[in-house]
Structure 1
Amino acid sequence: MANMTIIATTAIPGHLRGALTRWMTEPMPGLYVGTLSARVRTELWSAVAATINDGAALLLHPDDNEQGFTLHTAGQRRRTPIDLDGLTLIALNPSEPEPAADHPRGDPPA
């Protein structure tokens, strides 16, 4: 049975955008929405993960679990999904080191 599938991308190659728009609608740049079978979803995600290069992508689709969905990620990203007792949570991985403790907001010293 086909289910609603969402793929969100940043900085992906043009040929990958073309492949995604053959099967899905792009309502805003980098966001693809469609009703796909599990087989098509798997094949598209394999293509995304294999050609992501320096970009990033997230796949979200319905699943039979507590949250009602599953998500997958590929490429370089700041947010990493982690499993906590069967629930998927998002851990932030800052791209820059934390500011010094005496400057909590990263403000320059006076």
Structure 2
Amino acid sequence: MLVLTACPQGLRGSLTRWLLEISPGVFVGHVSARVRDALWAQTMDMIKDGKAIMVYPAKNEQGFEFKTHRHDWDLVDVDGIRLLQRPSQDSAGKPTMRHGWSKASHYRRRRG
């Protein structure tokens, strides 16, 4: 599976030769490792300012592996398991989530 964000139309068209686009920017298919690596290289050449995540099967504890390009989330290894962690601060050092943003928080505040 390959997920693209803010990518050129030419890249999306090129990927449809090998993969099926099931939703805008979401590509799935069963290709060999060689073709998968070639598709990733082509994606890196054409992506410009966009973002990309590729998930593919692997023989490990999770059963899959992934590659990322210009992704906002941080790649973290926890005891051999690779995870994506939402950053706690943006580039300016401000928290990414405001306190009290949920509906439950608003309800508790009104109840007093």
Range class of TM-score, shorter chain: 0.7 to 0.9
Q: Which residue of 1 aligns with 2:67?
A: 72
Find the aligned partners of 1:25 and 1:58 in 2 and give their Cα distance: 16
Identity %: 38
Higher strand share: 1
Root mean square deviation, CA, Å: 1.9
| Unaligned 5+ runs, structure 1 | 1-5
Q: Which has the higher contact order (CA 8 A, sep 6+)?
A: 1
Higher helix share: 2
User: Are 2:90 and 1:90 equivalent residues in the alignment?
Assistant: no
Find the aligned partners of 2:2 and 2:50 in 1 and give their Cα distance: 13
Q: TM-score, normalised by structure 1?
A: 0.79
Q: TM-score, normalised by structure 2?
A: 0.77
Which structure: larger Rg?
A: 2
Deviates more, 1:87-96 or 1:60-69: 87-96
Paired residues in the alignment total: 97
Assess, with a 3 A threshold, how the Cα gap between structure 1 residues 80 and 50 changes in structure 2: closer, same or farther: farther
